[in-house]
Amino acid sequence: MSIRIMGTGSALPEKTVSNRDLTMLVDTSDEWIRERTGIAQRHISTGETLVSLTAEACAGALENAGKSAEQVELLLVATCSPERGIPCVACQVQDALGAKNAVAFDLNAACSGFLFALHTAYAYVQAGVCRNALVAGGEVLSKMVDWTDRGTCILFGDGAGAVFVEKSPTGGILGFVQHSDGARGDVLKCDGRALKNPYVNLPMETEFVRMDGREVFSFAVRQVPACIQEVLTKTGVRTEEVDLFVLHQANRRILETIAKRLAVDLERFPMNLDRVGNMSSASIPVLLDELNRAGRLKRGGRIVLAGFGAGLTYGACLLEW
């Protein structure tokens, strides 16, 4: 028994910001950004909230699956950029959708968040706690970015994606692996509110995203191929038997290196980062929705999903569409 993706949805802010637009803010160029990241533009919120984007993506997934909000039993939102500490984003999305019968909560594993949330939904269904779930990844990272730091502001975009999954006797998730390396968490971080009360007033170390790009690159190109191979070995599937590798859209160079190390043609690694940038937990579900609506995902096809990011966290799953 497993869970199968029955519908997908996504939502992006209306405003797009091109690389040339960024040259007005920082010392950079379109050529410099494209060469190092593969990104040409990203969507940036000018008022859309994480809740509104995620609710729109979830509504799209429900419509695509032919389901109503009242049928949802579990609602998970993966994010690292909520507008509020409480209530959680998932509860706000539950209210926006009218998913009154769902249990709702958030999960934060940064860029691996959607994948970890999908695995959590799988575990809930396997345990008999529920029969279906709405799983979303959403971010408004533009409020966490230092727009004077050309090393980070060129990378990130805002958006949300979602999938509706339900219990299935065949297909769906065939196996997954996930890992964390908290000892290396400082290579990609962003502080929350500083400790301030009548007895202490501590300064905030870094209010914006700070990243050691070289360390993140090294981590990704080493650990992601290893965990993909781990899940393929676990399920007894060879790389040549996988139709598509849908990975977190962080950097084109990272994806090219991963494909090379797996000895897989880059054409089997679909990308949209040139148009949307790095959307952290939203990357995988937004790309899945694009592929699904373009007719590129066929029932019975084998797909590897892999996420990697702050934590450090990383993981992969093999699923049959």
Catalytic residues: 111, 248, 278
Question: Which residues, 6 or more positions from 263, have their beta carbon under 8 angstroms from its beta carbon?
Answer: 239
C-alpha span between 252 and 147 (Å, rounded) = 22
- Containing H/E element for 145? none
- CA-angle at 251, arms to 250 and 252, nearest 5°: 135
In 3D space, the residue among 91, 89, 50 whose CA is nearest the CA of residue 72 turns out to be: 91
Structure tokens at 320: 């049959």
| 280 conformational bin, left if phi > 0, alpha if psi -120 to 50, beta if neither | left
Structure tokens at 18: 């091109």
Question: Which residues, 6 or more positions from 223, have their beta carbon under 8 angstroms from its beta carbon?
Answer: 179, 308, 314
Helices (H) and strands (E) in the chain, counts: 9, 15
